[in-house]
């Protein structure tokens, strides 16, 4: 461990894998070339702020943030959860809408059934 990682209680192996904002932005531009600018910024912010994505590759961080952003802001996912649907059921019911949103942003990658 380096002195900084040790002082913060962070294993140095993980500090080497943190994605930069510019790397995530580049990956997102490639992944979703027609994503509007204001939504682009929100997706990158989510990737940078998400503790679970700190060690993800820029490509994975961009993809997971994009899917989460679209699911929560562009579909009825949160409403379904509020109505008592479990996470898997809510995801099932919004899958087609989510796929349509991603297609509108020119995303070629298809959703995995587990995403």
pLDDT tens readout for residues 31-52: 999 999 999 999 999 999 999 9
Mean pLDDT of the chain: 88
Band of residue 54 on the pLDDT scale cut at 50, 70, 90: confident
Q: Decide if pLDDT at 107 tops 60.
A: yes
User: Of the candidates 51, 50, 52, 61, which has an alpha carbon nearest to the alpha carbon of residue 19?
Assistant: 61
Q: What is the mean pLDDT of the segment spanning 15-26?
A: 78
Burial 31-54 (b: 16+ CB within 10 A, else e): bbeebeeebbeebbebbbeeeebb
Q: Decide if pLDDT at 114 tops 60.
A: yes
Q: Decide if pLDDT at 13 tops 80.
A: no
Q: Decide if pLDDT at 14 tops 90.
A: no
Q: How far apart are CA 80 and CA 50, in angstroms?
A: 23
């Amino acid at each position: 461990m380096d002195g900084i990682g040790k002082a913060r209680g962070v294993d140095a192996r993980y500090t080497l894998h943190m994605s930069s904002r510019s790397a995530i932005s580049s990956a997102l531009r490639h992944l979703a070339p027609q994503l509007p600018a204001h939504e682009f910024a929100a997706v990158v912010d989510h990737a940078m702020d998400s503790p679970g994505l700190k060690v993800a590759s820029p490509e994975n961080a961009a993809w997971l943030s994009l899917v989460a952003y679209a699911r929560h802001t562009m579909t009825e996912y949160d409403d379904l959860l509020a109505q008592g649907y479990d996470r898997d059921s809510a995801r099932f019911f919004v899958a087609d809408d989510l796929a349509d949103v991603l297609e509108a942003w020119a995303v070629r990658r298809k959703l995995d059934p587990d995403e």
